[in-house]
A and B are shown apart, each in its own frame.
Chain A
Amino acid sequence: MTAKAMLCRCEDVTLDEVMEALDAGHHDIESVKRYTGFGTGWCQGKQCVVACARLLAQVTGKAPELPITPRPPLHPVALGVLASLGDDEEG
């Protein structure tokens, strides 16, 4: 894999950039996400989080981390659809 390999295609985050975050001492997945921006685009990490978590595990020698905190909605939903829904209980 070359350094310019795209790990997060939605936000154009390359292998190089994730390695730079790890080299800078960010050894947990939430920090790597916030340092590089991976997983914040269209797919919300569905395509890239595994690759990033595996890289982190390889570099730190620790067991693979928990996934990044999932952010609802599971799939993109149009505001017009959300506006037509009733209110839900807290949660």
Chain B
Amino acid sequence: MPRVVVIGAGILGLATAYNLAKRGVRDVLVVDRGYLCGGASGRNGGGVRAQFSSETNIRLMRESIEICRDFATEMKINVWFRQGGYLFLTRTAARARDLEENVALQNRCGLPTRMLDPSELQRIVPELSSAGVRAASFNPGDGVVFPWPFIWGYARAAKDLGVSIRPFTEVVGFEARSGRITGVRLRPTRLSPLDATDEVLPAGDVYTESCDDVVLCAGAWSPKVAALVGLALPNKPHRHEICSTEPLKPWLGPLVADLSDGLYFSQSMRGEIVGGVAVEPVPEGINQQSSRRFLTTYARALVRAIPTMAGVRVLRQWAGCYDLTPDGSPIVGRVADPSNLTLACGFMGHGFMMAPVMGRLLAEHVATGETSPLFARWGLDRFARGELEHENMIIG
């Protein structure tokens, strides 16, 4: 039976490992340089939506939301899933046209998304200041989850099927022969004094695990890992900050996202208002430190949108990295060299919500060796061919 090493124990790595094991590929080892939930999978806002501008993303996310809906039953864990919808709004005419075109496409794909008139906007979020709002769209089927239990759910289910998960284990190199990876060189690590930095500390000797297949799901760290095998990836890490308020009684139905300033916020099942805003420029490279500038920018944008939030207190802020590609679409599938390396990265801040469906598709790809039209389109070689993808519904 083939042995698969999955690099990165974020949601995508774990979902892929779980789905591989479900298909009968049970000799799977998942390694991660830090602890589970330490990267973007544990740092995102938990949004799950099908409102996108490309048919591919819309259809994939419809399926992902269905998996989310059944996740608690299948995995026996409460992920605090709540379908309160996503309400996109914009204050510019250009983005208003985009929204209308996107809604028409989403309707053709079977989503019930609709444009909202001002009175309907007020009905759905009465607290929202509609001053300057040019257009808004709403899909009641979008929602939010609490990311952490999602990770534990996949991890436990994968382990129950025989998958090994090894946190605090860093990839330091590869052994390759005839264009194939034959072994992954690993080193134990431990926590750095502050996890806000990009640092893990070595804590043991380097050793090698042999493998037949390698899946790279390391998010913003993917280019660094790929470079160890001589592969140049075009993705770039991009810091995004987020914060959470004190818990409030339920009042906010949808996740609200303003495409004009990158503001978004939602109310979790725990009652907190969780949200962020676009702040530029950000430091180069992987950086998970919090800034005061984010907090003041977010506070101004949120209080403008919801004036009654002025009295609500922020409990904590943190940061994580988006994994950005030049055309706003992921990089997935086997590469030419080394031929047994499968990429699954560049998810543009949508990796968490896409993982439930992408984990299934990746497992199928690795287990069968077959390349679907989606994987052909999202492959790394599209950049060399100049056949780029398009997506304009990106928050922040």
Contact = CB atoms under 8 A, between A and B. Distances in A.
A69 B196 contact: yes
A65 B151 CA distance: 23
B239 to A, nearest CB: 11
Interface string B177-217: 00000000000001101111000000000000000000000
Interface in B284-340: 289-293, 295-300, 302-303, 309-318
Contact of A72 (B168, B312, B316): B316
B289 to A, nearest CB: 8
A31 B195 CA distance: 12
Interface residues of A, number: 31
B229 to A, nearest CB: 29
Given A31-B36, A34-B35, A66-B191, A82 B295 contact: yes
B42 interface: yes
**Chain B contact surface mostly:** mixed
B296 A34 contact: no
Interface residues of B, number: 43
Contacts of A79: 245, 299, 302-303, 309-314
B351 to A, nearest CB: 18
**Chain A contact surface mostly:** loop
A88 B290 CA distance: 12
Contacts of A81: 299
Contacts of A87: 292-293, 296-297
B195 A69 contact: yes
A90 interface: yes
Interface string A11-54: 00000000000000000101100110100111010000000000
A1 interface: no
10 contacts: A34-B151, A69-B195, A76-B246, A82-B314, A83-B299, A83-B310, A85-B299, A86-B296, A89-B293, A90-B291
Interface of A: 28, 30-31, 34-35, 37, 40-42, 44, 65-66, 69, 71-73, 76-83, 85-91
Interface of B: 35-38, 42, 148, 151-152, 167-168, 190-191, 193-196, 245-247, 283, 289-293, 295-300, 302-303, 309-318
